[in-house]
Structure 1
Amino acid sequence: MAGRRTVADRLAAALSAVLGTTELPLRLRGWDGSVAGPPGAPVLAVRSRRALRRLVWSPGQLGLGRAYVAGEIDIEDDVFDTFAALRSVGRLAEKGRMVPPTARDRLGLVGTALRLGAIGPEPEPPAEEADLGRSGRRHSRRRDAAAISHHYDVGNDFYELVLGPSMVYSCAVWASPDTGLDAAQEAKLDLVCRKLGLTDGDRLLDVGCGWGSLAIHAAQRYGATVVGITLSEEQAQLARKRVAEVGLTDRIEIRVQDYREIDDGPFDAISSIGMSEHVGRAEMPPYARRLHDLLRPGGRLLNHAIAWNAGTTTWNPDTFIARYVFPDGELLGLGETVGLLEDGGALEVLDVEALRQHYALTLRAWVRRLEAEWDAAVAASSPGRARVWRLYMAACALAFESGEMGVNQVLLRRPGGEQPPLRRDAWV
């Protein structure tokens, strides 16, 4: 019948309602094979009515994310092109949190679901979704350990496929886009050691040590003795194995330990690379005071952290990132982070370096590695887990490129002791 609306037509209307746009920048393929949307646009395939049902119950990024993780929505073209198209219109085009659909849009969404036979009970979330409700109050030691385990204890083999031999899970430092990920990660590790002013025999505390890469670099290249701490059992096991393989067990100790439990200071230097995002706004002042107390007078702290550049944030447990990637994580702005780290003058800021573009390059490299090793990554974890990492890393790369997110290294010192160099040339 002429003018009859296809499944894809109705799905396009439903997604437009969720995104808050009249011009969908994607081409949709329905579960019946019908297609709607502008020719040549990236194709999003909706493989199941369950995907539409998820949007009825959670009409925003969480519903879309759940459907993608569950395999009910699939990306048929380049993941970056697809997400860039989504971010170009409607509610996703505005920096900050995605605004919920209006009551009118939600009513239209329900009507579409009725016509397509998608109404029913709320589907169970995919198994990869975090549930920390039984782990105590937010940022208690028990709950922080559970949050870290959710993200990092997903299999060392999986991370090795994504990160490569460097096993560094934070922003690399690129001399140029052609540098290559492994060389860029080594450059970052060396930059951290230079900023901390490490010399032979210095004692370094690496808070959130990951798989031990910085500890090994600092001991091998600078003669430091290192205590590395993590809350991830799997990270610690592999870090210890890597330390033993390079013959550094006499210089490096890897512990499963909360930073609040360390009592064997002082240290000459402290590195916190990609860790303070897990601390939370309310816990930043005691975090800064604790690290201050663990430093000797004149000792340096390097805090390397992602920043939210799109205005003031409040913790929201119902975002895709909070449910699937970094439960209880919280991004602060650079100014707020510096203020909390200074903590009334207890720590003195020596240097701030922005690395926003570097993280976009790093994330794109990780996505390329994940996609190149897709079958192995799925075998090492789960189809849903691989989808989570692909979605979050690609979306974050675009957020760094747009300036919505940044990443900064803040170098501080505990007052006293020897004076720092007059110019930053000493570590650049």
Structure 2
Amino acid sequence: MGDSSTAPAKTSKDETTTMISSSGWFSGAVTAVNKFWEIMRHGPTVSKDQLVDRLVDGGWLPHFLLRMGIQREFRLRAREIASPNLEAAMARKMGFIEELRASDIAIHTDAANQQHYEVTTGVMAAALGPRMKYSCCLFPTGKETLAEAEDKMLDSYVDKMGFEDGMSLIDIGCGWGAAVLYFAERFPNSRVVGFSNSRTQREYILKLAGENGIKNITVFTGDAATADFGENLYDRMISCEMFEHVKNYDRMMIKAARALKPGGQFLLHIFCHKDTPYHFSEGWMSTHFFTGGTMPSADLMLYFQQRDFKIAKHWWIHGRHYNQTIEAWLANFVANKERVWPYLIEMYGEENAAVWFNRWQVYYLACAEMFISDDGNTYGVTHMLFEKTKN
């Protein structure tokens, strides 16, 4: 979306929350329409994108209207990426793969850090579950709490990798430490290493480890695109929703294979489209939250196995699991308005706190609607277990 020609009107903390999260459809719609005409009267040359930016940033659109607009955008996206036949679809995918192979390992990494990984921990803690797992959780019955769903997904990693006490593990893109803290605590005789591109994440993980007496954990920081993860060091490797920020998977997989011992296994967790990969190259999401990002297809990484890897197993996780995860994050974020507000001011400045309170809500709404589109059968999560060959 384009930039507004004038700054959005300032909105109070209480007013912002009331407007954007209003459950009364009639009052919310009336408010949005009134604000629409107010903006148009004062700025008749405002473009559609600028108008939407102002309405979103000002918190004038209730959630049900935002969901309707988001659903419309996903219908348009589906038409944009659709191919007329299988021949055209395959040609398009192979062209995309060749483009990735010619790319740098990652692009716009500074933007990704600013948008997510260097965000003040208090902003994320207001939304995420108790383990601070910033990736899809697992709801087998649909009735789990977010805390239970975090543990269900972490348990599944152990089972899928066949992890045992005494093994060594590295988590590439470890976030706020959900997996590394879990593995280190559950397997006290194991050596657990986290790699993050964020100083604040490292500080948070080590603080929690110290408070809980966890001593078998190390966290390194750096740029995953240029970092050296070592050679033949680890029995297991995991990466959860970091590869969506990668472009050249060939080069990244070479680094991953080199770090594993012969026979070691790499569990890759990525969100994805069922069959069509694409770039986040423009639009509101790319501008504010996913600059330089990639939407992989469920099979994309199968085209980037190096000679040192073979695919051992491949799973699909239905989109409803991520939808439930993000709906829980959104509910927490709105409910924790008072708690998160000082951190929004710390991160974005007092003049922009309300804007970013609204933007984070729209981000969660957009992601939740994406994963439940087509009843959760178009977007989901895939787990791939790669095994390093012993040659």
- Contact kept, 8 Å, 2:270 with 2:381, in 1: the verdict is yes
User: How far did residue 264 of structure 1 move?
Assistant: 2.9
- Contact kept, 8 Å, 1:306 with 1:407, in 2: the verdict is yes
Amino acid at match of 1:336: L
Deviations 1:312-342 (A, max 9, x none): 42441x21111111221111111223322x2
Correspondent of 2:309 among 341, 346, 354: 346
The CA distance in 2 between the partners of 1:55 and 1:225, in whole Å, is: 62
Larger Rg: 1
Distance 1:87 1:241, change over 3 A: closer
Deviations 1:128-168 (A, max 9, x none): xxxxxxxxxx9677942442233222211111111132211
- Contact kept, 8 Å, 1:92 with 1:98, in 2: the verdict is no
**Range with bigger deviation, 359-368 or 318-327:** 318-327
Correspondent of 2:256 among 291, 294, 308: 291
Deviations 1:106-144 (A, max 9, x none): xxxxxxxxxxxxxxxxxxxxxxxxxxxxxxxx9677942
Counterpart in the other structure of 1:363? 326
Correspondent of 2:132 among 167, 187, 191: 167
Counterpart in the other structure of 1:35? none
Q: Secondary structure at the match of 1:254?
A: strand
Distance 1:55 1:361, change over 3 A: farther
2:69 is aligned with 1:86: yes
User: How far did residue 401 of structure 1 move?
Assistant: 0.7
Number of aligned pairs?
329
- Contact kept, 8 Å, 1:209 with 1:230, in 2: the verdict is yes
2:158 is aligned with 1:193: yes
Q: Secondary structure at the match of 2:192?
A: strand
The CA distance in 2 between the partners of 1:237 and 1:54, in whole Å, is: 46
Amino acid at match of 2:325: T
Q: Secondary structure at the match of 2:60?
A: strand
User: How far did residue 170 of structure 1 move?
Assistant: 0.5
Map 1:109-188 onto structure 2 (within 5 A). 143-188=108-153
Q: Secondary structure at the match of 1:394?
A: helix
Correspondent of 2:78 among 96, 110, 113: 96
Amino acid at match of 1:67: R
List alignment gaps of at least 5 residues for structure 2: 1-24, 82-102, 345-352
The CA distance in 1 between the partners of 2:69 and 2:106, in whole Å, is: 38
Deviations 1:13-67 (A, max 9, x none): xxxxxxxxxxxxxxxxxxxxxxxxxx9596261537785589966534xx45532
Q: Secondary structure at the match of 2:138?
A: coil
Higher helix share: 2
User: How far did residue 98 of structure 1 move?
Assistant: 7.5
User: How far did residue 195 of structure 1 move?
Assistant: 1.5
Amino acid at match of 1:93: R
**Range with bigger deviation, 319-328 or 306-315:** 306-315
The CA distance in 2 between the partners of 1:349 and 1:375, in whole Å, is: 47
Distance 1:55 1:74, change over 3 A: farther
User: How far did residue 181 of structure 1 move?
Assistant: 0.2
2:195 is aligned with 1:229: yes
Counterpart in the other structure of 1:45? 32
The CA distance in 1 between the partners of 2:311 and 2:53, in whole Å, is: 44
Q: Secondary structure at the match of 2:269?
A: strand
The CA distance in 1 between the partners of 2:241 and 2:207, in whole Å, is: 22
Amino acid at match of 1:324: H
**Range with bigger deviation, 209-218 or 397-406:** 397-406
Counterpart in the other structure of 2:349? none
Distance 1:272 1:140, change over 3 A: closer
Map 1:253-268 onto structure 2 (within 5 A). 253-259=218-224, 260-265=226-231, 266-268=233-235
Distance 1:207 1:361, change over 3 A: same
Counterpart in the other structure of 1:18? none
Counterpart in the other structure of 2:54? 67
Amino acid at match of 2:242: M
Deviations 1:252-288 (A, max 9, x none): 00111233422433211111001111112xx111111
Deviations 1:291-325 (A, max 9, x none): 01111111111111111347442441x21111111
**What fraction of aligned residue pairs are identical, expressed as a percent?**
23
User: How far did residue 178 of structure 1 move?
Assistant: 1.5
The CA distance in 1 between the partners of 2:52 and 2:164, in whole Å, is: 47
Amino acid at match of 1:262: D
Distance 1:308 1:230, change over 3 A: same
Distance 1:161 1:268, change over 3 A: same
Amino acid at match of 2:167: D
List alignment gaps of at least 5 residues for structure 1: 1-38, 100-137, 418-428
Distance 1:56 1:225, change over 3 A: farther
Distance 1:140 1:286, change over 3 A: closer
The CA distance in 2 between the partners of 1:262 and 1:243, in whole Å, is: 24
The CA distance in 2 between the partners of 1:375 and 1:321, in whole Å, is: 26
The CA distance in 2 between the partners of 1:56 and 1:268, in whole Å, is: 60
Counterpart in the other structure of 1:277? 244
Amino acid at match of 1:391: V
Which of structures 1 and 2 has the larger relative contact order (alpha carbons within 8 angstroms, sep 6+)?
Answer: 2
Deviations 1:390-412 (A, max 9, x none): 10111211111114422111111
